[in-house]
Structure 1
Amino acid sequence: MPLRANPRPAMAAALLATALAMTLATVPPPAQAQTRGVIKIGEINSYKAQPAFLEPYKKGMELAIEEINAAGGLLGKRVQLIVRDDNANPGDAVRAAQELVAREKIDVLTGSFLSHIGLALADFAKQNKFFFLAGEPLTDKIVWQSGNRYTYRLRPSTYMQVSMMVPDALALKKKRWALVYPNYEYGQSAAATFKQLLKAAQPDVEFVAEQAPPLGKVDAGSVVQALADARPEALFNVLFGADLSKFVREGNTRGLFRGREVVSLLTGEPEYLDPLKDEAPNGWIVTGYPWYGIQTPEHQAFRTAYQARFSDYPRLGSIVGYSAIRSLAEGLKKAGSVDAEKLVAAFKGLQVPTPFGRITYRPEDNQSTMGGYVGRTRNEGGKGVMVDYRYVDGAKVQPSADEVRKMRPKD
């Protein structure tokens, strides 16, 4: 998934640097458990800070682990998942990674939701030559500007998801746009990418207002009023979770959305759409997960197994968690080992069956080709759903290999 404008950047940087220094001094070499009878997957995430997404995510991981072990495990060994909470803090995430490697003797590392956490763990992987699969953090930097050979990423990046929505935004033929986004890595990069891609295709577009409240601390009334005062024709929203709920409630109350088109990243995910209940908006263009309407055999099999196991419907987090473990399983089978260097080689071009169909981890930037659903919201009987949706293949919204080489440092 998953701060850009940390209110105490110097302190955060110092904490992270200290944690990294401690890690480099104490972490033993990877692939330390070749002879034991279990493969340990270490997972770090912001469970307490982002439960709406990460509780279903954990269930998805657990389902995949149970299926793998029921089928005989991996490389003749049982698979064990060991989870840690990062407290939404990069320093804590790095310390958790250090503990998982040094004490729990994990074989591979996965997880992270918030983008600044993902970047910290990616740097940990680089410094310690330890394999890391980032499941959710959406920042482009994790596979481009800050990319490294030991870090792969599953979920479609910020660039990819914004690219999925730009054709719909262009079709609106609106000139005056306003933007609202959480003021950290993910939100800022989403806004910048939207402006860049929309301006390139529609040169006369104007961005008349931007609101960037701190993550989790939106003053919805003032944000909505500032956007309304700019009199935009359309809005691009990147807020999610509790921030989104406050924004929608205040926007409905003050009439911000009346007569205006809204393009909204992530809002169609049930984690964020369901809590809106009867306040769910009509007609927003969104990315999301219409679990109730996907009829592919792969998804139907996953949905049936998930509902049987948890007596609940899946969320997008469920898909990401499940697919992350399945990706590690395919990589380990191909590598025939838990050795980090062999895993790095195995993931180059690795193909993985997922509930969204087969995906590939691109050799150019270690990014998977998992795609996403784009559609419109509809309030049906006091519950938000996605309608008129389509699946966009992630491979169709990625930059070329030549473009990636210009952005990504050499491994």
Structure 2
Amino acid sequence: MNTRIAPPGFAARAAAAGGSVIREALALTARPEVISFAGGLPASELLDVEGIRAAYDHVLTESPHRVLQYSTTEGDPRLREAVAARLSARQLPSRAEDLLVTTGSQQALALLATALLEPGDTVVVENPTYLAALQCFTYAGARVVPVPTDDQGIDVEALARIMAEERPKLLYLVPTFQNPTGHTLPLERRRSVARIAAERGLWIAEDDPYGELRFRGEHVPWIASLDDARDRTVLLGSLSKILSPGMRLGWLRAPAALRGVCTLAKQALDLHTSTVDQAAAAHYLREHDLDARLVRASYTYRERCDAMLDALAHTLPSGSTWSRPDGGMFIWVRLPDGYDAIALLSEAIAHDVAYVPGAPFFAGQADPATLRMSFAGHGPAQIEQGMKRLAQIFRYREREPGPGALLRNRQ
């Protein structure tokens, strides 16, 4: 008789990790009739399909044996030079050797967590914050401590207090057009963050996937460019929102010692990011005026953001509030007390409209009345139609009688 013993269980970090509410919401909204405000996807019609195809054709014709071979872990020198030039043009002097190319900026964040965090180390984050960052830190075994935010981003006085109490190793921020709120941290607060980090001995992860999608106001300098933060800030960037998410190209810009450790971690993980994708992107950036395309993208996103902002007042129940972003892809909504955005999502999908509930974006106690809406993927007419569908749900709830109504706590 053969004895069969079950294989060992999963690692604790795998057992502790939850699923992605965003990915689950996207799966539920796959039907073409659903108007989804859930995913943070760039508008498909803004993707330069012909230009990107031509870039692949060029590199596969001119240097096929190079682009179909293994490459260096640090990344294609041509791509690193192109990215460094873009950073320098935006007032962050950079060289190709300052950068490590990654498979999307999500991998950059994972490499940073691998390089810096031991199980039990403390990470401080904005509350709410990017959901996948919370998942990344959970996998690393870190202890995540939330810092309150307002309509201008992280509360620096609360940050200073928490720093003194918790002595964290890393601060993670999305300071420009934040995901999920759309808020942008003003320059004075960025200076305060940099000063606190310098005084307390703290690494900063400055995640900037949306910064080039500004459609109102003036560029705010990166934290990485400030004197107090230059030696301790890792800037994470990506081509996903400005060129193509399918190419899966990101990067990190970090002080040399930390960048070297991240490079070794990447070498162990996947050797290097796709050679052909890097080569095509480098050729595209050399031969095309991406900035001109971003002007068009920013105009498109401003039009769509304004359409959603205009419709919110006629869609949401009285007492709701929402952000007014100057760029990016997201509007953050808070419904009146008593509403539960998770409970309402299935009803919204039944009405062929979708959003992402806000609760999973919180590291601390969640606010069930919050939700995130992306305006990027639909034109004004579709946004108006989707908001009308959403309004039907709230009108029904406002009429719903009795103590079970989701509106029961509304003032």
Query: Fold-level match, TM-score > 0.5?
Result: no
Higher strand share: 1
Higher RCO structure, 1 or 2 (CA under 8 Å, sep 6+): 2
Q: TM-score, normalised by structure 1?
A: 0.32
TM-score normalized by the length of structure 2: 0.32
The structure having more radius of gyration, on CA atoms, is 2
